[in-house]
Amino acid sequence: MDIIDFDYLVIGSGIAGLMSAIHLSAHGRVCVLTKKDSAESNTNYAQGGIACVVTSDDSFEEHVKDTLIAGDGLCDEAVVRAIVSAGPERIAELEQIGLKFTGRDQAPGSGYDLGREGGHSRRRVLHCGDITGREVERILVDQVRSRPGVRIMEHCMVIDLVTTGWMGMPGSNRCVGCYFLNQATGEIAAVRAPFTVMATGGGGKVYLYTSNPDIATGDGLALAWRAGASMRNLEFIQFHPTCLYHPQAKSFLISEAVRGEGAILVNTKGESFMERYDVRGSLAPRDIVARAIDQEMKISGSPCVFLDIRHQPVEFLQRRFPNIYRTCLQFGVDMARDLVPVVPAAHFLCGGVEADVDGATALPGLFACGEVACTGLHGANRLASNSLLEALVCAHAMARKVGALPREMPAVSIPSWESGAAVPSDEAVVIEHNWNEVRTCMWDYVGIVRTNKRLERALRRIRNLRREIQQYYYEYLVTTDLLELRNIAAVAELIIRSALLRRESRGLHYTLDYPDKAAVPRDTLIRDPPGGRIAAGTLDHDPSTLGCAL
């Protein structure tokens, strides 16, 4: 088995992974593993932009306040302040390497064309039209490819992290690399490195309906959990309120910036309804808007609601939202003349691998940045466009910390991969069936509105599926589809266990059994022994079997 040695291993090629690679390349040799093309990531689909204080009529204090309000009492205020205040320097860095934000690209020295999104008290969202993520990804991929100390390995799917504890080595458990499947050759190899950076993004594909691309299968969460890292606040799944509702429009997001430019949500009767749920109307935070839409759909029996931005001229819409306008038109919807049908869809994980602003996790040698990490910035509900900001700031802080650490580690001999008696699968339909069952179960029972009964039913089904998947994993040679199925099932169980532990309604977690907020906000932590156990115990909400709420 090939074992490749690097100073730093970065898993993932979104904004967090690529910025990590760029910064770490100043300190040593970097390997970037990505399971698809290097530009394919959640970042690539981010339409809105990057929230950052850049004008004199805005302030860090107001940005912090808006973030804390959206986070519904569960943000770590020190973390919020650290990330918000570090934003302008990171924006300047992006501009220095070639990114041109809208407004800034009109003439030298001109100001930004700032957008406003739900929960923001000011216009502070920098954007590149309505394809911000795509532009950021393009610039960063070019930067990484130009650095001689960075090697990007595409179409390589990580199977599991390698730790000293798993290998039976003395001393505390430490991450020393990973096994991966080369999808082009079908061979399994390993990367050995003193430091591993998890930057794999989120897991929207755990749900049946999502705005995320097909790659978002929660791989980093599952990998880190099986290696022994702690999981934090995974019950907080942000459902974006407005995905285009059309049978052929797979996962197409209608950016919150559309509401920032005056679009209002209306029901099947054409009535504006958000004012009945929140004084901020259609610009309320996403958790409130998604629940309101869910309620309106249940009241009317309609499969969707609508966005109305017909008051804006077609010239404005084509200039401000060229990609959204063009895509809607392809599906027969003219935003200037028609109501735009929308539904909520799983969008962002506010929880994740427990990590500091500098990426440090509970597992030595493993760092986490971006959506896969839970730093305390988002609390119970992410403020719109804070995610790319967090990835930029945390990748920089992580590289500064890791780059100052010695790269030596104990001599490690990673064992060759053993396939045992595993044979090629001749029943791919089993994987497809289980994949659909996991996602349908999560959508039906662990969605926008929850109950204990639904969660317990979901946990039973997911645990049974995980046992079946584990047996299949042992009997057949690994494939990308099998590895992704294994991961989404593991993440599904973690989300359900976290939701069962939260006996209140806060932010993105709303349960009919506990409709009120607890007096004292607490994080939900799951700290399992390494290995990613498949618990078979009873569903008694006992923290010893489900995790621990601290």
Catalytic residues: 286
**CA R_g for the chain:** 22
With 0-12 / 13-18 / 19 or more C-beta atoms within 10 angstroms meaning exposed / middle / buried, residue 421 is: exposed
Six-digit token string for 412: 């490690």
List the beta bridge partners of residue 264.
308
Per DSSP, the three-state class of 546 is helix
List the beta bridge partners of residue 126.
50
Distance between CA 320 and CA 129 in Å, rounded?
6
In total, the chain counts a number of residues equal to 550
Please check whether residue 274 is in contact with residue 308, taking contact to mean a CB–CB distance below 8 angstroms: no
Please check whether residue 482 is in contact with residue 472, taking contact to mean a CB–CB distance below 8 angstroms: yes
DSSP character at residue 529:
P
Amino acid at 131: I
Distance between CA 410 and CA 148 in Å, rounded?
27
By C-alpha distance, which of 550, 451, 448, 465 is closest to 508?
448
Six-digit token string for 454: 């639904």
Q: Which residue has the tokens 């006996």?
A: 503
By C-alpha distance, which of 234, 229, 296 is closest to 269?
296
Six-digit token string for 284: 């309320």
> What does the H/E/C string look like for 351-413?
CEEECCCCCECCCCCEEECHHHEECCCCCCCCCCCCHHHHHHHHHHHHHHHHHCCCCCCCCCC
